[in-house]
Amino acid sequence: MTRRRWIADEVTQNRAALTGPHAEHLARVLRAQVGQEFDIATGSAIRRGRITSISDTRVEFELAEAISAATLPDLTLLLAIFKFDRMEWAIEKATELGVRRIVPVIARRTDAHLASAANKRFDRWQRLAHQASEQSRRPATPELASPIKVSEAVAISATTRILLAETETQHKLLDRLESHQPEASLALAIGPEGGWSPDEITTFTTAGFLPASLGPTILRAETAAIAAVAIALSQLT
């Protein structure tokens, strides 16, 4: 039987702990008991962990041998901010698929009240990514950046940087990935509802991003994000 995986809140040598609501979920909802074993992600490795003490606010583990874990591709998702319920779904699913970092981007067509409220949603986005990481048995939670503007997003470094744009008609995403080496870093930029504006497309392409299409139909932002990530990861893993 596959053991459930938890990402430790605290790690000290051969000890680890879950704290706060994280511990409460394991203790009260899942009714864990002393002696139970789980896989514990420590940040540097995955190790077998045995519960040594448990309360509603803290669960402590004794760590044993390391367990092999898959290495995630170096994939950055630049995700223009759109309606929060749909964006949160995209963050959750991108995490499950294996994105290494997520960068929210304030685009020209990002609704003004969403842009102004984005920083207040940051903690919630982190919690969603953390929960999705444990559910999908990732070795670590993806890095989640604070929201940035397009002028900052174009400076994100990666070996291959691709701009998904519905106006692109010559190159599909798979075309752009043909020459990309699996071990190299990759960045995908997904626009908001309504897509990137013409001047933003110019800004990205001038900075070296390669425009690409996901096909002839117009996709919702969250659909485009998951489709692009899934296609990319199928080529990288």
Domain with residue 223: its CATH number is 3.40.1280.10
Choosing from 46, 67, 88, the residue where a domain stops is 67
Residue 169 and residue 110 in one domain: yes
- Report the pLDDT value the prediction gives residue 229, as an integer from 0 to 100: 97
Do residue 198 and residue 215 come from a single domain?
Answer: yes
Q: What is the pTM of this model?
A: 0.84
Please check whether residues 60 and 85 belong to one and the same domain. no
Residues 77-87 pLDDT 10s: 999 999 999 99
Q: Which of 109, 115, 114, 112 is nearest to 196 (CA)?
A: 109
The domain boundary residue, chosen from 47, 67, 87: 67
What is the tally of structural domains in the chain? 2
Q: Which residues of 110-137 are buried (b: 16+ CB within 10 A; e: fewer)?
A: beeebbeebeebeeebeebbbbbbbeeb
Res 140: pLDDT: 85
202 and 103 assigned to the same domain: yes
Q: Are 55 and 152 found together in one domain?
A: no
Q: Tell me: do 20 and 118 sit in the same domain.
A: no
Q: Check whether 22 has a pLDDT greater than 80.
A: yes
pLDDT per position as a tens digit, 183-197: 899 999 999 999 999
Assess whether 62 and 82 both reside in one domain.
no
Q: Are residues 103 and 205 in the same domain?
A: yes
CB 229 within 8 A of CB 95: no
The reply to whether 93 and 186 lie within a common domain is: yes
Distance, CA of 23 to CA of 141 (rounded, Å): 17
| Long-range contact pairs involving 178-183 (C-beta distance under 8 Å, separation at least 24) | 180/235, 180/236, 182/73, 182/235, 182/236, 182/237, 183/74
132 and 213 both lie in a single domain: yes
Domain that holds residue 99: 75-236
